[in-house]
Structure 1
Amino acid sequence: MGSTANAFPALVLNADFRPLSYFPLSLWSWQDSVKAAFLGRVNIISEYEHTVRSPTFEMRLPSVISLKEYVHLDRRPAFTRFNVFLRDGFLCQYCGDHLPSEELTFDHVIPRSRGGRTTWDNVVTACQDCNLAKGNQMLGNCGMTLMRPVEAPTTYELQQNGRAFPPNYLHESWNDFLYWDSELES
Protein backbone atom coordinates (compact mmCIF):
# COMPACT_ATOMS: atom_id res chain seq x y z
CA MET A 1 0.00 0.00 0.00
CA GLY A 2 2.93 2.35 0.50
CA SER A 3 2.56 5.90 1.80
CA THR A 4 -1.14 6.09 0.87
CA ALA A 5 -1.92 3.84 3.84
CA ASN A 6 -1.92 6.88 6.13
CA ALA A 7 -4.96 8.11 4.21
CA PHE A 8 -7.23 5.43 5.70
CA PRO A 9 -7.96 6.30 9.33
CA ALA A 10 -10.72 4.50 11.20
CA LEU A 11 -13.39 6.38 13.15
CA VAL A 12 -13.39 4.95 16.69
CA LEU A 13 -16.77 4.55 18.37
CA ASN A 14 -17.41 3.65 21.98
CA ALA A 15 -19.38 0.47 22.65
CA ASP A 16 -22.57 2.58 22.50
CA PHE A 17 -21.67 3.65 18.92
CA ARG A 18 -20.92 7.26 19.85
CA PRO A 19 -17.51 8.66 18.88
CA LEU A 20 -15.02 8.61 21.72
CA SER A 21 -14.29 12.25 20.92
CA TYR A 22 -15.57 14.81 18.43
CA PHE A 23 -12.77 17.34 18.71
CA PRO A 24 -10.25 16.14 18.05
CA LEU A 25 -12.16 13.43 16.24
CA SER A 26 -11.39 9.96 17.60
CA LEU A 27 -9.40 8.34 14.79
CA TRP A 28 -6.94 5.46 14.73
CA SER A 29 -4.39 4.74 12.03
CA TRP A 30 -5.18 1.82 9.75
CA GLN A 31 -2.38 -0.14 11.46
CA ASP A 32 -3.88 0.34 14.94
CA SER A 33 -7.41 -0.50 13.75
CA VAL A 34 -6.25 -3.68 11.98
CA LYS A 35 -4.27 -4.75 15.05
CA ALA A 36 -7.24 -4.10 17.37
CA ALA A 37 -9.56 -6.05 15.05
CA PHE A 38 -7.09 -8.93 14.82
CA LEU A 39 -6.83 -9.03 18.64
CA GLY A 40 -10.65 -9.01 18.96
CA ARG A 41 -10.83 -5.67 20.81
CA VAL A 42 -13.13 -3.95 18.30
CA ASN A 43 -16.02 -4.67 15.98
CA ILE A 44 -15.62 -3.59 12.37
CA ILE A 45 -18.67 -1.58 11.39
CA SER A 46 -17.64 -0.31 7.96
CA GLU A 47 -14.69 -0.85 5.62
CA TYR A 48 -12.76 0.92 2.89
CA GLU A 49 -12.36 -0.71 -0.53
CA HIS A 50 -8.60 -1.00 0.06
CA THR A 51 -7.10 -4.17 1.47
CA VAL A 52 -3.93 -5.16 3.29
CA ARG A 53 -2.27 -8.49 2.60
CA SER A 54 0.33 -10.77 4.06
CA PRO A 55 1.30 -14.20 2.70
CA THR A 56 -1.49 -15.83 4.76
CA PHE A 57 -3.95 -13.02 5.43
CA GLU A 58 -6.06 -10.47 3.54
CA MET A 59 -8.31 -7.84 5.07
CA ARG A 60 -10.19 -4.74 3.93
CA LEU A 61 -9.18 -1.68 5.95
CA PRO A 62 -11.72 -0.68 8.61
CA SER A 63 -13.26 2.78 8.20
CA VAL A 64 -15.49 2.61 11.30
CA ILE A 65 -14.82 0.48 14.36
CA SER A 66 -16.51 0.20 17.74
CA LEU A 67 -14.88 -0.79 20.99
CA LYS A 68 -16.14 -4.01 22.54
CA GLU A 69 -15.60 -2.62 26.06
CA TYR A 70 -17.42 0.61 26.97
CA VAL A 71 -15.11 3.47 27.98
CA HIS A 72 -16.70 5.76 30.58
CA LEU A 73 -16.31 9.42 29.63
CA ASP A 74 -17.83 10.96 32.73
CA ARG A 75 -14.50 11.85 34.32
CA ARG A 76 -13.64 15.54 34.59
CA PRO A 77 -11.83 16.86 31.53
CA ALA A 78 -8.14 17.72 31.81
CA PHE A 79 -7.36 21.37 32.45
CA THR A 80 -5.37 22.24 29.32
CA ARG A 81 -5.00 25.34 27.18
CA PHE A 82 -6.77 23.58 24.31
CA ASN A 83 -9.71 22.52 26.50
CA VAL A 84 -10.09 26.10 27.78
CA PHE A 85 -10.28 27.27 24.15
CA LEU A 86 -12.77 24.50 23.35
CA ARG A 87 -14.93 25.32 26.39
CA ASP A 88 -15.00 28.95 25.25
CA GLY A 89 -15.68 28.04 21.60
CA PHE A 90 -12.41 29.66 20.41
CA LEU A 91 -13.99 33.05 21.21
CA CYS A 92 -12.34 35.84 23.15
CA GLN A 93 -14.46 36.01 26.29
CA TYR A 94 -14.08 39.81 26.39
CA CYS A 95 -14.76 41.01 22.82
CA GLY A 96 -16.30 37.88 21.25
CA ASP A 97 -13.84 37.62 18.34
CA HIS A 98 -13.49 34.10 16.91
CA LEU A 99 -9.83 33.36 16.20
CA PRO A 100 -7.63 30.37 15.34
CA SER A 101 -5.98 28.82 18.41
CA GLU A 102 -2.53 30.13 17.50
CA GLU A 103 -3.87 33.71 17.82
CA LEU A 104 -5.52 33.14 21.21
CA THR A 105 -4.13 33.42 24.72
CA PHE A 106 -5.66 32.65 28.06
CA ASP A 107 -6.25 35.26 30.69
CA HIS A 108 -6.56 35.03 34.46
CA VAL A 109 -9.82 36.79 35.39
CA ILE A 110 -8.34 37.51 38.82
CA PRO A 111 -4.70 38.17 37.91
CA ARG A 112 -2.08 35.89 39.40
CA SER A 113 -0.37 38.97 40.83
CA ARG A 114 -3.55 39.49 42.89
CA GLY A 115 -3.87 35.93 44.11
CA GLY A 116 -5.73 34.46 41.13
CA ARG A 117 -5.15 30.79 40.45
CA THR A 118 -4.76 28.88 37.21
CA THR A 119 -8.03 26.95 37.42
CA TRP A 120 -11.13 26.35 35.30
CA ASP A 121 -13.07 29.05 37.16
CA ASN A 122 -10.39 31.75 36.77
CA VAL A 123 -8.99 31.27 33.25
CA VAL A 124 -10.69 32.36 30.02
CA THR A 125 -9.85 32.51 26.34
CA ALA A 126 -8.72 35.98 25.27
CA CYS A 127 -7.42 37.62 22.12
CA GLN A 128 -4.03 39.27 22.46
CA ASP A 129 -5.48 42.80 22.30
CA CYS A 130 -7.97 42.19 25.14
CA ASN A 131 -5.38 40.35 27.22
CA LEU A 132 -3.02 43.33 26.92
CA ALA A 133 -5.82 45.84 27.60
CA LYS A 134 -6.88 44.03 30.78
CA GLY A 135 -3.33 43.48 31.99
CA ASN A 136 -3.25 42.70 35.70
CA GLN A 137 -6.40 44.66 36.50
CA MET A 138 -9.58 43.36 38.05
CA LEU A 139 -12.62 43.35 35.72
CA GLY A 140 -14.37 46.10 37.68
CA ASN A 141 -11.37 48.41 37.29
CA CYS A 142 -10.77 48.05 33.55
CA GLY A 143 -14.32 48.37 32.20
CA MET A 144 -14.28 44.87 30.65
CA THR A 145 -16.89 42.16 31.16
CA LEU A 146 -17.01 38.45 30.43
CA MET A 147 -19.35 37.08 27.78
CA ARG A 148 -20.47 34.29 30.13
CA PRO A 149 -19.74 32.96 33.62
CA VAL A 150 -16.54 30.95 33.98
CA GLU A 151 -16.77 27.38 35.26
CA ALA A 152 -15.32 23.93 34.75
CA PRO A 153 -16.93 22.15 31.79
CA THR A 154 -18.12 18.58 31.77
CA THR A 155 -16.76 16.10 29.26
CA TYR A 156 -20.20 16.17 27.63
CA GLU A 157 -20.03 19.97 27.21
CA LEU A 158 -16.60 19.76 25.59
CA GLN A 159 -17.87 17.02 23.26
CA GLN A 160 -20.87 19.18 22.29
CA ASN A 161 -18.63 22.19 21.66
CA GLY A 162 -16.29 20.05 19.58
CA ARG A 163 -19.11 19.06 17.25
CA ALA A 164 -19.20 22.65 15.99
CA PHE A 165 -15.69 22.25 14.56
CA PRO A 166 -15.72 19.47 11.95
CA PRO A 167 -12.38 17.92 11.04
CA ASN A 168 -10.66 18.58 7.72
CA TYR A 169 -11.40 15.07 6.50
CA LEU A 170 -14.65 13.13 6.82
CA HIS A 171 -15.15 9.80 5.14
CA GLU A 172 -18.72 9.18 3.96
CA SER A 173 -18.95 6.00 6.08
CA TRP A 174 -18.55 8.13 9.23
CA ASN A 175 -21.53 10.45 8.73
CA ASP A 176 -24.17 8.22 10.28
CA PHE A 177 -22.10 7.90 13.45
CA LEU A 178 -21.01 11.50 13.85
CA TYR A 179 -24.42 13.07 13.49
CA TRP A 180 -26.72 10.22 14.52
CA ASP A 181 -28.56 12.35 17.07
CA SER A 182 -29.08 15.39 14.87
CA GLU A 183 -32.52 16.11 13.48
CA LEU A 184 -33.48 14.03 10.47
CA GLU A 185 -34.47 15.75 7.26
CA SER A 186 -38.17 15.53 6.44
Structure 2
Amino acid sequence: MTPESCPTLVLNADYRPLSYFPLSLWSWQETVKATFQDRVEVISEYDAVVRSPSFEMRLPSVVCLKRYVRPAPRPAFTRFNLFLRDMFSCQYCGAREELTFDHVLPRSKGGRTSWGNIVTACAPCNVRKGGRMPREARMIPRREPYIPTVGELQNNGRAFPPNYLHESWNDYLYWDSELEP
Protein backbone atom coordinates (compact mmCIF):
# COMPACT_ATOMS: atom_id res chain seq x y z
CA MET A 1 0.00 0.00 0.00
CA THR A 2 1.56 3.29 -1.11
CA PRO A 3 0.71 6.67 0.42
CA GLU A 4 -0.73 7.75 -2.95
CA SER A 5 -3.34 4.98 -2.66
CA CYS A 6 -4.53 6.27 0.73
CA PRO A 7 -6.93 9.19 0.29
CA THR A 8 -8.46 10.61 3.45
CA LEU A 9 -12.19 11.21 3.90
CA VAL A 10 -12.67 14.72 5.34
CA LEU A 11 -15.61 15.30 7.66
CA ASN A 12 -16.89 18.64 8.86
CA ALA A 13 -16.92 19.31 12.61
CA ASP A 14 -20.44 17.78 12.71
CA TYR A 15 -19.01 14.47 11.39
CA ARG A 16 -20.70 14.80 7.99
CA PRO A 17 -18.66 14.81 4.77
CA LEU A 18 -17.86 18.28 3.46
CA SER A 19 -19.19 17.10 0.10
CA TYR A 20 -20.62 13.91 -1.36
CA PHE A 21 -19.97 14.61 -5.01
CA PRO A 22 -17.19 15.07 -5.50
CA LEU A 23 -16.48 13.26 -2.27
CA SER A 24 -14.43 15.37 0.14
CA LEU A 25 -11.04 13.67 0.00
CA TRP A 26 -7.54 14.88 0.77
CA SER A 27 -4.23 13.48 -0.37
CA TRP A 28 -1.96 11.97 2.25
CA GLN A 29 0.26 15.08 2.12
CA GLU A 30 -2.64 17.46 2.83
CA THR A 31 -3.82 15.21 5.64
CA VAL A 32 -0.41 14.97 7.33
CA LYS A 33 -0.01 18.75 7.10
CA ALA A 34 -3.48 19.39 8.60
CA THR A 35 -2.73 16.89 11.38
CA PHE A 36 0.53 18.67 12.28
CA GLN A 37 -1.24 22.04 12.20
CA ASP A 38 -3.81 20.61 14.65
CA ARG A 39 -6.70 21.50 12.31
CA VAL A 40 -8.15 17.96 12.29
CA GLU A 41 -8.87 15.08 14.60
CA VAL A 42 -7.86 11.67 13.27
CA ILE A 43 -10.82 9.29 13.42
CA SER A 44 -9.48 6.23 11.60
CA GLU A 45 -6.17 5.12 10.08
CA TYR A 46 -4.81 2.92 7.34
CA ASP A 47 -2.17 0.29 8.03
CA ALA A 48 0.21 2.30 5.80
CA VAL A 49 2.90 4.34 7.51
CA VAL A 50 4.92 7.39 6.44
CA ARG A 51 8.32 8.02 7.94
CA SER A 52 10.91 10.74 8.22
CA PRO A 53 14.29 10.35 9.94
CA SER A 54 12.77 11.37 13.27
CA PHE A 55 9.06 10.60 12.92
CA GLU A 56 6.65 7.82 11.99
CA MET A 57 2.89 8.10 11.46
CA ARG A 58 0.07 5.84 10.29
CA LEU A 59 -1.85 7.51 7.48
CA PRO A 60 -5.31 8.74 8.47
CA SER A 61 -8.23 7.30 6.49
CA VAL A 62 -10.86 9.56 8.12
CA VAL A 63 -10.35 12.97 9.70
CA CYS A 64 -12.76 15.47 11.20
CA LEU A 65 -12.21 19.23 11.04
CA LYS A 66 -11.92 20.90 14.42
CA ARG A 67 -13.68 24.02 13.16
CA TYR A 68 -17.05 23.83 11.42
CA VAL A 69 -17.05 24.99 7.80
CA ARG A 70 -20.39 26.52 6.91
CA PRO A 71 -21.68 25.24 3.55
CA ALA A 72 -22.19 27.82 0.81
CA PRO A 73 -25.74 29.25 0.95
CA ARG A 74 -26.24 28.72 -2.79
CA PRO A 75 -24.50 26.33 -5.13
CA ALA A 76 -22.16 27.77 -7.72
CA PHE A 77 -23.53 27.74 -11.26
CA THR A 78 -21.08 25.34 -12.89
CA ARG A 79 -21.39 22.73 -15.62
CA PHE A 80 -20.73 19.99 -13.05
CA ASN A 81 -23.42 21.25 -10.64
CA LEU A 82 -25.88 21.58 -13.53
CA PHE A 83 -25.26 17.95 -14.51
CA LEU A 84 -25.58 16.93 -10.87
CA ARG A 85 -28.90 18.80 -10.53
CA ASP A 86 -30.19 16.94 -13.59
CA MET A 87 -28.73 13.61 -12.38
CA PHE A 88 -26.32 13.39 -15.34
CA SER A 89 -29.12 12.74 -17.82
CA CYS A 90 -30.45 14.58 -20.85
CA GLN A 91 -33.62 16.42 -19.92
CA TYR A 92 -35.08 15.70 -23.36
CA CYS A 93 -34.41 11.99 -23.94
CA GLY A 94 -32.77 10.66 -20.75
CA ALA A 95 -29.43 9.77 -22.38
CA ARG A 96 -26.31 9.79 -20.18
CA GLU A 97 -23.64 10.11 -22.89
CA GLU A 98 -22.26 13.15 -24.74
CA LEU A 99 -23.74 15.56 -22.19
CA THR A 100 -23.69 19.28 -22.75
CA PHE A 101 -26.16 21.99 -21.79
CA ASP A 102 -29.03 23.68 -23.58
CA HIS A 103 -30.60 27.11 -23.25
CA VAL A 104 -34.35 26.38 -22.95
CA LEU A 105 -35.07 29.93 -24.16
CA PRO A 106 -32.38 30.22 -26.84
CA ARG A 107 -29.78 32.96 -26.47
CA SER A 108 -30.82 34.25 -29.89
CA LYS A 109 -34.24 34.98 -28.37
CA GLY A 110 -32.87 36.64 -25.22
CA GLY A 111 -32.25 33.55 -23.10
CA ARG A 112 -29.66 33.91 -20.38
CA THR A 113 -27.04 31.49 -19.18
CA SER A 114 -28.44 30.89 -15.69
CA TRP A 115 -29.88 28.15 -13.49
CA GLY A 116 -33.39 29.15 -14.57
CA ASN A 117 -32.76 28.71 -18.30
CA ILE A 118 -30.25 25.88 -18.69
CA VAL A 119 -30.84 22.11 -18.71
CA THR A 120 -28.56 19.15 -19.31
CA ALA A 121 -28.88 17.87 -22.87
CA CYS A 122 -27.10 15.23 -24.90
CA ALA A 123 -25.33 16.52 -28.00
CA PRO A 124 -27.85 14.96 -30.45
CA CYS A 125 -30.84 16.55 -28.67
CA ASN A 126 -29.05 19.89 -28.39
CA VAL A 127 -28.39 19.90 -32.14
CA ARG A 128 -31.94 18.75 -32.90
CA LYS A 129 -33.49 21.53 -30.78
CA GLY A 130 -31.10 24.14 -32.15
CA GLY A 131 -32.16 27.75 -31.63
CA ARG A 132 -35.87 26.92 -31.45
CA MET A 133 -38.25 27.22 -28.54
CA PRO A 134 -39.12 23.91 -26.84
CA ARG A 135 -42.68 23.82 -28.26
CA GLU A 136 -41.46 24.65 -31.77
CA ALA A 137 -38.97 21.79 -31.59
CA ARG A 138 -41.50 19.55 -29.82
CA MET A 139 -38.87 19.01 -27.14
CA ILE A 140 -40.14 19.88 -23.67
CA PRO A 141 -37.63 19.32 -20.84
CA ARG A 142 -38.61 16.58 -18.39
CA ARG A 143 -38.16 19.13 -15.60
CA GLU A 144 -38.19 22.89 -15.82
CA PRO A 145 -34.80 24.45 -15.02
CA TYR A 146 -34.50 25.78 -11.47
CA ILE A 147 -31.97 26.84 -8.84
CA PRO A 148 -31.14 23.79 -6.70
CA THR A 149 -30.22 23.96 -3.04
CA VAL A 150 -26.82 22.85 -1.76
CA GLY A 151 -28.61 20.07 0.14
CA GLU A 152 -30.32 18.84 -3.02
CA LEU A 153 -26.98 18.63 -4.85
CA GLN A 154 -25.51 16.76 -1.88
CA ASN A 155 -28.42 14.30 -1.93
CA ASN A 156 -28.11 13.84 -5.70
CA GLY A 157 -24.40 13.17 -5.27
CA ARG A 158 -25.19 10.22 -3.00
CA ALA A 159 -26.60 8.44 -6.05
CA PHE A 160 -23.12 8.40 -7.62
CA PRO A 161 -20.67 6.76 -5.20
CA PRO A 162 -17.04 7.00 -6.28
CA ASN A 163 -15.08 4.03 -7.55
CA TYR A 164 -13.08 3.81 -4.33
CA LEU A 165 -14.66 3.59 -0.88
CA HIS A 166 -12.48 2.49 2.03
CA GLU A 167 -14.24 0.36 4.65
CA SER A 168 -13.38 2.90 7.40
CA TRP A 169 -15.57 5.45 5.61
CA ASN A 170 -18.78 3.39 5.79
CA ASP A 171 -19.99 4.87 9.09
CA TYR A 172 -19.85 8.39 7.65
CA LEU A 173 -21.22 7.95 4.13
CA TYR A 174 -24.85 7.26 3.38
CA TRP A 175 -25.15 6.12 -0.20
CA ASP A 176 -28.36 4.85 -1.73
CA SER A 177 -27.84 1.26 -0.71
CA GLU A 178 -29.50 -1.27 1.54
CA LEU A 179 -28.32 -1.50 5.11
CA GLU A 180 -27.32 -4.85 6.51
CA PRO A 181 -29.72 -6.20 9.17
Normalising by structure 1, what TM-score? 0.92
Question: SS of 1:90's equivalent?
Answer: coil
Identity %: 68
Question: SS of 2:121's equivalent?
Answer: strand
Matches within 5 A, 1:1-186: 4-99=2-97, 103-179=98-174, 184-186=179-181
User: Match of 1:123, as an amino acid?
Assistant: I
Q: d(CA) in 1 for partners of 2:176 and 2:90?
A: 29
Q: d(CA) in 2 for partners of 1:24 and 1:180?
A: 13
Gap regions ≥5 residues in structure 1? none
The answer to whether the 8 A contact 2:7-2:28 is kept is yes
Q: d(CA) in 2 for partners of 1:179 and 1:126?
A: 29
Normalising by structure 2, what TM-score? 0.95
The Cα of 1:140 is off from its aligned counterpart by 1.6
Q: d(CA) in 2 for partners of 1:184 and 1:171?
A: 17
- Going from structure 1 to structure 2, the CA distance change for 1:44 and 1:124 (only over 3 Å counts) comes to same
Q: d(CA) in 2 for partners of 1:76 and 1:7?
A: 33
Structure 1 runs of 4+ aligned residues shifted over 2 Å read 180-186
Tell which deviates more after alignment, 36-45 or 171-180: 171-180
Q: d(CA) in 1 for partners of 2:166 and 2:180?
A: 20
Gap regions ≥5 residues in structure 2? none
The Cα of 1:56 is off from its aligned counterpart by 2.0
The number of equivalent residue pairs is 181
Q: d(CA) in 1 for partners of 2:154 and 2:109?
A: 33
Backbone CA RMSD of aligned residues: 1.7
